[in-house]
Amino acid sequence: MRLIRFGEVGRERPGVLVEGGWPGGRALDVGAFFDAPSGDFGEAFFGADGPARLARWLGAHAGDCPPIDPDARVGCCVARPSKIVCIGLNYRDHARETGAPIPAEPVVFLKASSACSGPFDDIVMPREGPKVDWEVELAFVVGRQARYVGEEEALDHVAGYVLHNDLSERSWQLERGGQWDKGKSFDTFAPLGPWLATPDEVRDPHQLSLWLAVNGERMQDGTTANLIFGIPALVSYLSRCMTLLPGDVVSTGTPAGVGLGQDPPRYLRPGDVVELGADGLGVSRQRVVPGA
């Protein structure tokens, strides 16, 4: 299945994309699946084998589900997770372009869940910090609580895969001391979607092409075959230092081609348009706008 959330900011409803991509595809409102109108694709849903139960329910009730207006806004495809865990420098070519050594263990940082936004929402420039950078990434959503999980069972804890633009403000991240998190957590800095693809929709998450363009110019072309630490290794590693909860998002890193790696460095400005995509995970598009 491909899960989407649609509607106004803060009032999104759960849906399933049943045909084509988004925008332009056919999607159904599956709010009736939930016991309460507030039901959503969040921790309770994923932790109770929600995708499998929804698939069975949809088999019997698809004809009763209202179609989603093709002009509806699409929001972040998961309800706000307890945490977004990101992996830095997880492609050798990206580590080289930033001048960093190849990591011996995963480089882990957190991104505030308040950064989540829809895949076609605007990127809002911070009031302070002119060095906003792009990063196309494969992310996965946790489906079962994970603590001290071995690599051989790690994929059993993955609910699905999603496209992520791991936006970064480099001066806050790299020039002001402390941890990376503060350069990663501005509002709108985590566009996720357009949909979450359950594992049966993704042939091999370690063989996906992913790309990103700025104003139509291709900046990143990569493949998840070049991940330094693959998804089983990441699930296992992270589960040894924190509890991964259902609905948590783990973003696996970006290939070469970020603005920081250009000579000279190149950063986003108001009016720029960023488009990105990955095999089986659709295409997202964000326009950069000035901060309020």
Residue tagged 């921790």 (tokens): 43
- Domains recognised in the chain with CATH numbers: 2-64 (no CATH), 84-289 (3.90.850.10)
Structural contact between residues 86 and 229, judged by C-beta atoms closer than 8 angstroms: no
Distance between CA atoms of residues 48 and 144, nearest Å: 8
H/E stretch holding 27: strand 26-29
- Among residues 90, 108, 109, 110, the alpha carbon closest in space to that of 100 is found at 90
Task: For strands 84-88 and 249-251, give the pairing.
Answer: parallel
pTM value > 0.85: yes
Partners of 84 in the β-ladder: 111, 249
pLDDT tens across the length of the chain (292 residues): 999 999 999 999 999 999 999 988 999 999 999 988 889 999 999 999 999 999 999 999 999 999 999 999 999 999 999 999 999 989 988 778 878 788 999 999 999 999 999 999 999 999 998 999 999 999 999 999 999 999 999 999 999 999 999 999 999 999 988 888 999 999 999 999 999 999 999 999 999 999 999 999 999 999 999 999 999 999 999 999 999 999 999 999 999 999 999 999 999 999 999 999 999 999 999 999 998 7
Give the Cα separation of 164 and 230 in Å (integer). Answer: 17
